[in-house]
Homo-oligomer: A and B are copies of this chain.
């Protein structure tokens, strides 16, 4: 006898951009986000083929555009909340999750922007019977330092060939998501403050490992922003491997590297209070 243990349905990768016309002295604002909607709460569609309670994913998409006109701003958390509230008005929906990813567009002039950076601001709002869960996040922030990081004192067995080092290139792409005990009044200012902490404590402190660097970044964020109760990181170690020039008959000055995408060290952790 089969039973439905979990179900969710939604629309993912809904892309919407919006001009914030003439807001303030800077000129136009521009926001460009990708929205993923996920609902829970219907089983008849699966088991009986009855769609009476299946909000069409096409309707979800339309809803994103419809509500964007009045509600989409840089404050992604608020737009997410508006969307989640809307979907919860269907009495049979037990949970609504809205995840948002904002592309970064740097202002050039009053109506011009430069993009192309992999960095994203993210947010997520989940509503269900138990309440509301709001997170902020950053994704795709690529950082590298040519000094200020080592890795030594690790255990060695017969398959260990990595030399110890107290000086190496450390490169990663920061993925962080933090949950709010209570969302701050200005989520954009808070996001900028978290980003500053991440960058400063990546570049500013010597670390014994990616793990150690991440711990410093995490604790700095918790120290700086009271509203955050927990932060989760994923920090891939994007290796720049020394290329051994001695095998080509050359003296090796230790400055030439081979960057590789795979494999990569894959470090994840969560820090709470």
Contact = CB atoms under 8 A, between A and B. Distances in A.
Contact of A18 (B47, B157, B256): B256
Interface in A55-90: 55-59, 61-63, 65-66, 68-69, 72, 90
Contacts of A148: 111-112
Nearest to A55: B155
Nearest to A54: B154
Contacts of A232: 6
A45 B212 contact: yes
B270 A2 contact: no
A56 B265 CA distance: 9
Number of identical monomers bound together in the oligomeric complex: 4
A3 B273 contact: yes
A91 B87 CA distance: 49
A203 interface: yes
Contacts of A215: 4, 46-47
A155 B90 contact: yes
B51 A255 contact: no
Interface residues of A, number: 132
A109 interface: yes
Given A52-B153, A264-B13, A1 B173 contact: no
Nearest to A155: B55
A59 B147 contact: no
7 contacts: A2-B219, A8-B269, A16-B256, A17-B257, A32-B259, A52-B155, A261-B262
Interface of A: 1-21, 28, 30, 32, 36, 38, 45-59, 61-63, 65-66, 68-69, 72, 90, 105, 108-109, 111-119, 140-148, 151-162, 169, 173, 199, 202-204, 207-212, 214-215, 218-219, 222, 230, 232, 236-237, 240, 243, 245, 247-250, 252-253, 255-273
Q: Give the 3 A-B residue pairs with the shortest CB-CB distance, closest first.
A: A49-B208, A116-B142, A13-B262
